Amino acid sequence: MLNFNVMDYGAAGNGVADDTLAFIKAWNATCSSSTGALLTIPKEKTFFLNPTKFTGPCKASEVTVMLSGNLVAPDGPKAWKLEDKSTWLYFQGVEGMTVTGNGQINGRGKGWWDISCRYHPGSSLRFQDCGNLHVDHIKIYDSPQTHISLAGCHGAELSSINIDSPDSSPNTDGIHISACNNVNIHTSKIGSGLGGSVVDVQNITVQRANFSGTTNGARIKTRQEGKGSVRNIHFSDLNFNAVENPIIIDQHYGDNEARGGLKAGVSISGVTYSRARGTSKTPVAINLNCSSSVACTGITLDTIQLAPAAKARTLSSFCNNAHGTAIGAVYVPRLDDPHSRTFESCSTDKFQINGPCTYQICYLYLYRSGYDGWKPESITVSGYYTSPITFYYNTFIPNGVHKGFIYWRFIDDTQREDIFPESYKIYRPLQSQQSHYYGNLVAPDGPKAWKLEDKSTWLHFQGVEGLTVTGNGQINGRGKGWWDISCRYHPGSSLRFQDCGNLHVDHIKIYDSPQTHISLTGCHGTELSSINIDSPDKSPNTDGIHISACNDVNIHTSKIGSGLGGSVVDVQNITVQRANFSGTTNGARIKTRQEGKGSVRNIHFIDLNFNNVENPIIIDQHYASEEATHLKAAGVSISGVTYSRARGTSKTPVAINLNCSSTVPCTDITLDTIQLAPAAKAQKLSSYSNNAHVTAIGAVNPFLSGAVKIDK
């Protein structure tokens, strides 16, 4: 095996000088070798690297990267020289590669953690489209975001990996796996989460892994609007130490804005959790929150022993649309009674009780004297409208029951109450036709003041027809306390309208939201006018208005001071007119994910004023798609979008950015009379398009090369 030492290609190895070029030269020589090749990164040396891409295919059938020394990333956002911040170390298209050694990889993420998550690099170490991959005996720590990601890989083994970042570091997941098969992760220590951005993933084994203080443990996560399948996933011999969500399937990840009317869902089947033990920091230790439209099947829990990390806490489990088997002892013992156990089962029946609400019943029992095989045989539901809804059981309550819980689940909500000894009341959703905000509303002041575990939304209107929200009042989201913590914990929106029709919202001011200010999901026939939205420039992800699964929406005569975004799937007939944007991160934006499905059509932005705005006109179909660029067939179809009479100043050099899906083009895009100037005098503006078919009418500055020009 030929040896290619980075020192022989000009690397300094002092941790200060930029060794990027030396590494690229050494890699090119290694990859070009016709026989087995060894890229040596020597011990007792520290190498500073800027974002670097190591591409294949290589000539040799076996390539080894011997990481004996240490690698360090640029020290924070200002030190990164490249605009592309998606990945730091990136291996692509390499077959038969081994990365080994006792070296360390330092992502130097501290400087990133203090700014919005949207700017963080996607991962520190990424392997894409690699086969027969082996990674072992390395330590990687303090990543800006995800530590290791595997995308489109087949036949990968990760062993004796040590991943570590501080508890307070946001979104520093351990390992992301997407569109891979035959992956084995074992004998590793993961100190900051294990996540899966999972689409078309199969035959994954994670075994002999230790989790300590992480935000999530053995987690599978997908988005409700996702497609594809996750199957044959095996977690075994896991140890948890004060871990949040030790065992979790989350198919509603990032779905605060996308639950209205979506019928999609990733299919999850054949998932096994076996021989897991340790302590949970969250009260729900086993959380199987599957898609509402596509059930999880073949889920197996085999010998699970979890205890609360805090002595005073009792643990429970939760399931939504999950079907499977419990083998052996599957329980969460209380510290004050080690013989107690909890058992849970969810009914497959759904009850619609003379109204718009659908309820699914789950039940959980905590035994002090052990499990004897008993559970309720059936549930009868009576009562409707404003009458109490009572749950009756056709069997007796056995001896030994210490306490029981029943859950009733709305479309997006879960509530939990003690079922003994009384019945419980559930009332229909709010039916009032008008809400006048003459006074002011204020949210709880920061995370510690929120009393409910469900933090998806602050003010939530659901299923109301003919609603008008008006007045001159103000809505203060009091988001400052949220902005200093990870974005993953922020409420999705301050004011949310879901499945509403003939909706009118006007003359209100909403400001300082923890995250999105207003969201519309599954609404039809909506008018928002004279809305004033404002948050500080540095507040992360405080988008103005999110629109998903809606049609016939008109937004006009409004001032949006913290972004306008669209979590857009099946959206049509939207008009935004007479809107002012000042100092926002984005202006008139349509955003989708590369893996998304559906369509966006007939969207009109008219009479817009931009003042010092980043990305004044933008279509971004690669939003948050760092893990999904391999998905070739997906893409939301965008057509019939008009930007008319827009003027003002752009803070970014690319003022018009039409970055459409690589697989599904944007069609019938019209730019009509656009006059944009740079916010800084020395700056020059430009336009960019990717797979967009554009017509330019009248004067369009900056002009988009390739657009069909029509003079007025």
Q: What is the pLDDT of residues 654-689, one digit of tens each?
A: 999 999 988 889 999 999 999 999 988 767 899 999
CA–chain centroid gap for 556, Å, is 30
Asked if 165 and 186 count as a contact pair (C-beta separation under 8 A), the reply is: no
Q: Of 108, 36, 87, 45, give the one whose Cα is nearest residue 65.
A: 36
H, E, C per residue of 489-539: HCCCEEEEEECCEEEEEECCEEECCCCEEEEEECCEEEEEECCEEECCCCC
User: From start to end of 251-340, where are the E strands?
Assistant: 267-280, 284-289, 296-308, 316-320, 322-331
pLDDT for 48 equals 97
DSSP 118: G
Tell me which long-range contacts 584-588 makes (C-beta under 8 A, separation of at least 24): 584/544, 584/560, 584/613, 584/614, 585/118, 585/614, 585/615, 586/543, 586/613, 586/614, 586/615, 586/618, 587/613, 587/614, 587/615, 587/616, 587/617, 587/618, 588/564, 588/616, 588/617, 588/618, 588/643, 588/646
Asked if 362 and 407 count as a contact pair (C-beta separation under 8 A), the reply is: yes
Residue 23, pLDDT > 90, answer yes
- Over residues 174-205, the pLDDT tens digits come to 888 877 778 888 777 776 533 333 346 777 88
pLDDT for 50 equals 93
**224 vs 30, which has greater pLDDT?**
30
**355 vs 555, which has greater pLDDT?**
555
Residue-level length of the chain: 712
Least confident of 69-83, 478-492, 509-523: 478-492
Q: Of 563, 598, 596, 557, give the one whose Cα is nearest residue 576.
A: 557
The secondary structure of the chain in percent helix, strand, coil, rounded to multiples of 5, reads: 5, 50, 45
Q: How far apart are CA 23 and CA 519, in angstroms?
A: 47
Asked if 522 and 498 count as a contact pair (C-beta separation under 8 A), the reply is: yes
pLDDT for 473 equals 83
Quick one: pLDDT band at residue 259, thresholds 50, 70, 90? very low
pLDDT for 581 equals 83
Asked if 227 and 266 count as a contact pair (C-beta separation under 8 A), the reply is: yes
CA distances to 78, 205, 652, 678, 699 from 683, in Å: 19, 52, 9, 6, 20
pLDDT for 683 equals 77
Phi-psi region of 595 (alpha: psi -120 to 50; beta: other; left: phi over 0): alpha
Q: How far apart are CA 495 and CA 511, in angstroms?
A: 11
Cis status of the peptide bond prior to 421, with omega within 30 of 0: yes
Q: How far apart are CA 500 and CA 353, in angstroms?
A: 19
Residues facing residue 536 across a β-bridge: none
Cis status of the peptide bond prior to 57, with omega within 30 of 0: yes
Q: Which residues, including other chains, have CB under 8 Å from residue 417's CB and lie 6 or more apart?
A: 405, 406, 424
CA–chain centroid gap for 210, Å, is 24
Side chain identity, residue 661: S
Return the percentage of the chain with pLDDT > 90, whole number: 27
Cis status of the peptide bond prior to 702, with omega within 30 of 0: yes
Section 436-448 average pLDDT: 75
Return the percentage of the chain with pLDDT > 70, whole number: 74
Q: How far apart are CA 351 and CA 381, in angstroms?
A: 8
For 364, the enclosing helix (H) or strand (E) is: strand 358-367
Q: How far apart are CA 567 and CA 562, in angstroms?
A: 16
**166 vs 142, which has greater pLDDT?**
142
Parallel, antiparallel, or unpaired for β 87-92 and 441-442? unpaired
- Over residues 394-440, the pLDDT tens digits come to 223 334 333 333 333 332 333 333 232 222 222 222 223 344 445 68
Average predicted confidence (pLDDT) for the chain: 76
pLDDT for 436 equals 44
Quick check: helix, strand or coil at residue 578?
A: strand
**340 vs 587, which has greater pLDDT?**
587
Least confident of 89-103, 454-468, 483-497, 629-643: 629-643
pLDDT for 565 equals 36
Residue 218, pLDDT > 70, answer yes
pLDDT for 408 equals 36
Q: Which residues, including other chains, have CB under 8 Å from residue 241's CB and lie 6 or more apart?
A: 210, 211, 212, 213, 278, 279
Q: Which residues, including other chains, have CB under 8 Å from residue 52's CB and lie 6 or more apart?
A: 20, 23, 24, 88, 89, 90
Q: How far apart are CA 492 and CA 255, in angstroms?
A: 8
Parallel, antiparallel, or unpaired for β 637-650 and 666-678? parallel
Q: For the chain, count helices (H), then strands (E).
A: 3, 56
Least confident of 9-13, 265-269, 483-487: 483-487
* Token pair belonging to 186: 């074992």
Quick one: pLDDT band at residue 57, thresholds 50, 70, 90? very high
Q: Of 19, 2, 37, 38, give the one whose Cα is nearest residue 10.
A: 19
CA–chain centroid gap for 86, Å, is 15
Residue 107, pLDDT > 90, answer yes
Quick one: pLDDT band at residue 44, thresholds 50, 70, 90? very high
Q: How far apart are CA 606 and CA 618, in angstroms?
A: 14
- Over residues 559-581, the pLDDT tens digits come to 776 533 333 345 777 888 887 88
Q: How far apart are CA 497 and CA 499, in angstroms?
A: 7
For 110, the enclosing helix (H) or strand (E) is: helix 110-113
Least confident of 108-122, 357-371, 482-496: 357-371
Least confident of 72-81, 171-180, 350-359, 378-387: 378-387
- CA atoms within a 13 Å half-sphere pointing along the CA-CB vector of 18: 11
pTM to 2 decimal places: 0.47
Q: How far apart are CA 218 and CA 204, in angstroms?
A: 12
Asked if 60 and 34 count as a contact pair (C-beta separation under 8 A), the reply is: yes
Phi-psi region of 573 (alpha: psi -120 to 50; beta: other; left: phi over 0): left
Residue 20, pLDDT > 80, answer yes
Q: How far apart are CA 37 and CA 380, in angstroms?
A: 69
Count CB-CB contacts under 10 A for residue 407.
21
Count CB-CB contacts under 10 A for residue 170.
23
CA distances to 184, 194, 299, 309, 597 from 269, in Å: 18, 19, 7, 30, 22
Q: Of 49, 9, 7, 12, give the one whose Cα is nearest residue 32.
A: 9
pLDDT for 261 equals 43
**342 vs 551, which has greater pLDDT?**
551
- Over residues 505-544, the pLDDT tens digits come to 988 899 999 888 999 888 888 888 888 888 887 787 788 8
Q: How far apart are CA 520 and CA 527, in angstroms?
A: 11
Asked if 660 and 618 count as a contact pair (C-beta separation under 8 A), the reply is: no
